[in-house]
Amino acid sequence: MPKIFNTSWLAVLLATLAFFMVGWIWYGPLFSDAWMAAEGITQEIANARLEEMGVVKWLLAALSVTLGQAIGVLMVINLAGAKRLPACLKVTFWLLVTIAIPLMAYACIYGGYPLTGFMIDAGHLAVGYLAMAAIYAAFRGKNKVEIGEA
């Protein structure tokens, strides 16, 4: 099977779907009410936005954004040389706390986005990115070198 960043495309597709499903659960059954309150919208407004955009267009856009993040996480894992689960999780953790989550904080600091919404969004990224890292570790080989090993 063709590879990207020394990893099977199947892993990228599985990571994309896993991250998408984490988001579906996160912004659905787990935190939909709190997140919509933070966004200042109701279920009716959310439904109207979805209807206006169209389900197919929304799904393609959402999967494209998720795929882009999945490829980005894999690229960083590959550049770091991480292959086993602990190393992939470590690299991804530092990606989250030094780049992804601080970038989201701008909306809170300068745009007035509520802290509750920020925390929900940051939790989604953390769980989703770490799930992707675990999937990548499963595909990157058992006999590979971990970070810090010669």
Written in H, E and C, the secondary structure of 33-64 is HHHHHHHCCCHHHHHHHHHHHCHHHHHHHHHH
Spatial contact of 140 and 12, defined as CB atoms under 8 Å apart: no
Mean pLDDT of the chain: 91
How many residues can be counted in the chain? Answer: 150
Structural domains in the chain (count):
1
Say what the pLDDT of residue 33 is: 93
Helix (H, G, I), strand (E, B) or coil at 8: strand
Domain assignment present for residue 11? The answer is yes
Say what the pLDDT of residue 6 is: 84
Q: Whole domain around residue 133: which residue ranges?
A: 3-139
Say what the pLDDT of residue 92 is: 98
Domain assignment present for residue 35? The answer is yes
Say what the pLDDT of residue 145 is: 45
7-8 and 3-4 strand pairing = antiparallel
Report pLDDT digits (tens) over 25-43. 999 999 999 999 998 989 8
Dihedral of CA 112/113/119/121: which sign?
negative
Say what the pLDDT of residue 130 is: 98
Domain assignment present for residue 105? The answer is yes
Q: What is the mean pLDDT of residues 94-113?
A: 94
Domain assignment present for residue 146? The answer is no
Domain assignment present for residue 144? The answer is no
Q: Measure the CA–CA gap between 58 and 43, rounded to whole angstroms.
A: 16
What is the reported pTM? Answer: 0.88
Residue 149 above 50 pLDDT? Answer: no
